[in-house]
């Protein structure tokens, strides 16, 4: 069965600020104009997070811009939206978030077979020195790729 996946938005800041321990896929409860806005790519995941309340999971701080032609049907761009997960997954995440330093952060939003899906990650916050180490490691990889590329040119 071929899966049709179209990426809408990626949360690059999450990978910069957190270590991603585990990933889950969740559906999102949306209204019609929000889906149309998502199809146009008008979403921002930068400062969003997930909470568990009353056995249900919600995403907070996710900004979906109002649909231009939606007039009275547009909802609040920053409203709290319910995530669709199995009860067992919600309870597992709730138990893990209880530990110190763990958060549930949206990583990316995409359409999978015409349904909007949100990839959420169980994340542990990075300290400043961890961010420096990550940046140094990325620079070393980039430099080594440049060296390989340059050495290939000199052989010609």
Q: Provide the residue-wise pLDDT of the chain in tens; the chain has 156 residues.
A: 457 888 998 988 888 888 888 899 999 988 888 888 888 888 888 888 888 888 899 999 888 888 777 777 777 778 888 999 999 988 888 888 877 778 889 999 999 988 889 999 988 887 777 778 888 888 888 888 888 887 776 655
88 by DSSP, 3-state: which?
Answer: helix
User: Alpha carbon of 118 to those of 33, 67, 110, 150, 153: distances in Å?
Assistant: 17, 20, 7, 40, 43
Q: What is the CATH number of domain 5-125?
A: 2.40.280.10
What are phi and psi for residue 37, nearest 5 degrees?
-65, -40
User: Alpha carbon of 153 to those of 98, 139, 141, 142: distances in Å?
Assistant: 53, 21, 19, 17
How far apart, in whole angstroms, are the C-alpha atoms of residue 141 and residue 40? Answer: 34
pTM of the predicted structure, to 2 decimals: 0.74
Alpha carbon 18 to chain centroid distance? 12
How far apart, in whole angstroms, are the C-alpha atoms of residue 50 and residue 145? Answer: 37
Which alpha helices (DSSP H) does the chain contain, by range? Answer: 12-17, 32-39, 87-97, 128-154
Q: Where are the domains of the chain?
A: 5-125
């Amino acid at each position: 069965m071929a899966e049709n996946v179209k990426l809408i938005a990626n949360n690059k800041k999450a990978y910069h600020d957190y270590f991603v321990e585990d990933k889950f896929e969740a559906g999102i409860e949306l209204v019609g104009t929000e889906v149309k806005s998502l199809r146009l790519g008008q979403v921002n995941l930068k400062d969003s997070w997930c909470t568990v309340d009353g056995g249900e999971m919600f995403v907070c701080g996710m900004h979906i811009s109002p649909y231009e032609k939606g007039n009275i049907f547009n909802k609040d761009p920053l409203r709290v939206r319910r995530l669709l997960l199995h009860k067992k997954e919600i309870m597992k995440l709730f138990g893990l978030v209880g530990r110190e330093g763990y958060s549930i952060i949206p990583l990316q939003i995409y359409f999978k077979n015409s349904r909007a899906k949100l990839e959420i990650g169980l994340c542990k916050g990075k300290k400043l020195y961890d961010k420096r180490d990550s940046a140094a490691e990325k620079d070393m990889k980039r430099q080594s790729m440049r060296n390989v590329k340059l050495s290939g040119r000199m052989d010609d």
